[in-house]
Chains A and B, each alone.
Chain A
Amino acid sequence: MEKEKLKIIKKNDVLKFLDSLQKEYEVFMPVERNGDIQFSKFSSEKDFPWNYRNTKISPKEIFFPQSETLFSFKAEESALSSGSMIFKPEDEPEDSISENKNYLIFGIRPCDTLAFSLLDKLFGGDDFQDTYYMEKRSKATVISLACNKPQVTCFCTSLKGRPDNEEGADIILFDIGENILVRPITKKGEKFIESLSSWFEDAKEADIKKKNEIMVQSFQKIRSTADIQNIKEKLDKAFDISFWNEIHQKCLGCGICTYLCPTCYCFNITDEIERTAGSSTSSGGKRIRCWDSCMFSLFTMHASGHNPRPSYKERMRQRIMHKFNYCPENFKEIFCIGCGRCVRNCPVNLDLREMLILLMSFEEIKEDEKV
């Protein structure tokens, strides 16, 4: 990137800047709420939490909400009189977040933008497009904020990530003290900066030097690693190894690892009907999509009662295989970004990094060598 494209914006101007964009954009930024940081709609009363590490809930929820209406439907008079519940789908699915505004995602961490680029491959796809995700995603300008202070659970550099990863974002910001260094990544990002040029100044040599120093330090702060080179090949032959008999034993099957994971995308589709009090019939309802988890037994339970993944063993194996073997097979990408959310939030301290390290060094003991 040539030097002249790097800009700076004053840290003190950022809230005003975001406020000014509200006419055109639905602005999302990290906001502190009850001690947790979560992506929320911009509010001028909230300061931007410049020192935040990362959100507890992954910002995938902006494009892929935990619960989302696919469409609504109304009951047909004629059908109700026959006593059966038949509805007619309404033509247009309702937009669950906003009218027709574009989205601005401001201050997201680089690992989480990397997750967007992975989810794009699934929800985009060359055969079926997931219109709900893709519409929101295409309307978004994503501005990430490089990590100055990685957490002890961060292990992005063991995967594809870096504290200044650019993939999945349109612009990346660097916190260099009084000022924020601004670097456009995509054409969309360049245009965005050009159209709002009055807010920015050209970056000076000293700003770039400072940014480089901070990034070197940031890299050094990532102490946690899991050497998983060739993990796909390792897992190609690992479906039946005894590793899986032990690794799941602490797991409670609560599913928090999958709910908080920025790359977990499995979902359920259910219907909800609306009923007014005192009436036995329904006037209509909604078809809802919500996050689901491979850690739950009902996830794969057939109506006949047969379940191909009946125990924690098969479900833990599915979680690891899906991320580190099946997705590399289908999308040429590992579906893990090393954000450490699953590590930080597991109620029984199951540590994905440890599991991966154990797996990589695992050698099956032959029957006759067992003590």
Chain B
Amino acid sequence: MNNPYLPIPVTIKKITIENEARDIKTFDLEFNAKEDVEKFKYICGQFAEVSVLGIGESPIGIASSPMDEDLLQFTVKKYATGMVTSALHNLCPGDMIGVRGPYGNGFPVKEFEGSNLVIIGGGFAFTTLRSLIRYILHEKNRARFKDITVLYGARSPGELIYKSELNQWGERDNIKVYLTVDRGDESWNGRVGLVPNVLKDISPSSKNSVALICGPLIMVKYTMLPIMDLGFKPDKIFFSLEMRMKCGIGKCGRCNIGPKYVCKDGPVFTYKELQELPQEY
């Protein structure tokens, strides 16, 4: 029997500090054993239990794209109360950690083919959306999707993550990127405004479109009004949810919303699915 609780050993190759507050870092990982790469074939929107042995495990969304060969990335925000995230932030390249996974349903990427995508992210919750964008922008995939509109906001310019990548995307003509911050600074000459308001301004068409929304609960809540006004149907609006987890495989009993387990049945749910579940998140 395959033991689902054993982590696969990986080594940290590179650590990138993503924000001004220095509490969000991206970890580039490499599998210690080449054969483990095959065992860890993932799709956009899935997550893994990231393990610092001696400290514990934490469920983290996969930030790299399945098209990124030999690269597995996680972007981790450190919380003062988070033992694993704090331990991760103290590590250096060369250190060894563990990953279990990939877990969760991920984004139904096949279903998105032939549609326009409106991708809305806020703050640090942009990680699995970034995986999806990287996947779609890959030269082998781009033709299968129609217009891509990305709206990404953060509290301040220093808190936007994946900055160099955002700039690269901004220079391409096959993706529209709108960045916004709650408050600007002297270096910022871009948009200032909350994500729901900017969404109203840019008003992407809902015709043949799907919307993907990831961000803080309050942002998601207030984005629902304009997104519904734009005519997006509940089964065309996708969220990726977070919940406290331990096992990641639907056994330990804590991440459920009604009878659905965020680890196994999610983390990606449509608005239609969420409407049918109890409001407990």
Contacts and interface: CB of A to CB of B under 8 A. Distances in A.
A267 B252 contact: yes
Q: Report whether over half of chain B's contact residues are helix, strand or loop; otherwise say mixed.
A: loop
B53 A287 contact: yes
Interface in B39-65: 52-58
A279 B156 CA distance: 44
Interface in B199-256: 217, 242-244, 246-247, 249-256
Contacts of B94: 82
A113 to B, nearest CB: 21
A70 interface: yes
A269 B56 contact: yes
A271 B56 CA distance: 5
A128 B259 CA distance: 18
Nearest to B261: A330
Nearest to B85: A303
A219 interface: no
A299 B254 contact: yes
B82 A265 contact: no
B190 interface: no
Interface string A203-237: 00000000000000000000000000000000000
B5 A71 contact: yes
A252 interface: no
Interface string A82-101: 10111111000100000000
A73 B56 CA distance: 12
Contact of B4 (A86, A128, A287): A128
Given A89-B53, A299-B254, A134 B1 contact: yes
B55 A326 contact: no
Interface string B174-188: 000000000000000
Interface string A298-330: 011111111011000010000001100110011
B258 A130 contact: no
Contacts of A122: 251
Contacts of A266: 252-254
B82 A303 contact: yes
A350 interface: no
Contacts of A76: 96
A148 B81 CA distance: 52
A300 B54 CA distance: 22
B109 interface: no
B143 interface: no
Contacts of B5: 70-71, 93, 131-132, 269, 287, 289
A270 interface: yes
Contact of A308 (B56, B252, B253, B280): B280
B264 interface: yes
Contact of A322 (B250, B253, B264): B253
B7 interface: yes
A292 interface: yes
Contact of A269 (B52, B79, B96, B252): B252
Contacts of A240: 278
Contacts of B57: 269
B258 A326 contact: yes
Contacts of B82: 303
A287 B90 CA distance: 21
B3 A300 contact: no
A285 B95 CA distance: 17
A52 interface: no
A249 interface: no
Contacts of B251: 122-123, 125, 128, 130, 265, 267
Contacts of B264: 127
B196 interface: no
Contact of B244 (A73, A287, A289, A302): A302
A282 interface: yes
Given A82-B94, A273-B54, A303-B81, A89 B6 contact: yes
Contact of B96 (A86, A128, A129, A287): A86
A268 interface: yes
B166 interface: no
A152 interface: no
A129 B247 CA distance: 12
Given A76-B96, A85-B52, A265-B253, A314 B280 contact: yes
B1 A135 contact: yes
Interface string A145-182: 00000000000000000000000000000000000000
A282 B54 contact: yes
A17 interface: no
Given A268-B246, A271-B53, 15 more contacts: A84-B91, A88-B53, A89-B7, A89-B98, A128-B250, A128-B251, A132-B5, A239-B278, A266-B252, A287-B53, A292-B254, A299-B244, A308-B257, A321-B258, A326-B259
24 contacts: A79-B95, A82-B92, A82-B94, A86-B91, A87-B54, A89-B98, A93-B6, A128-B249, A129-B2, A239-B278, A240-B278, A266-B252, A269-B57, A269-B252, A285-B53, A294-B254, A300-B254, A308-B257, A308-B280, A314-B280, A321-B258, A325-B259, A326-B258, A326-B259
Instruction: Kindly list the 5 A-B residue pairs having the minimum CB-CB distance in the complex, ordered from nearest.
Output: A266-B253, A87-B53, A303-B82, A329-B259, A128-B249
Interface of B: 1-7, 9, 52-58, 79, 81-82, 85, 87, 90-92, 94-98, 217, 242-244, 246-247, 249-259, 264, 278, 280-281
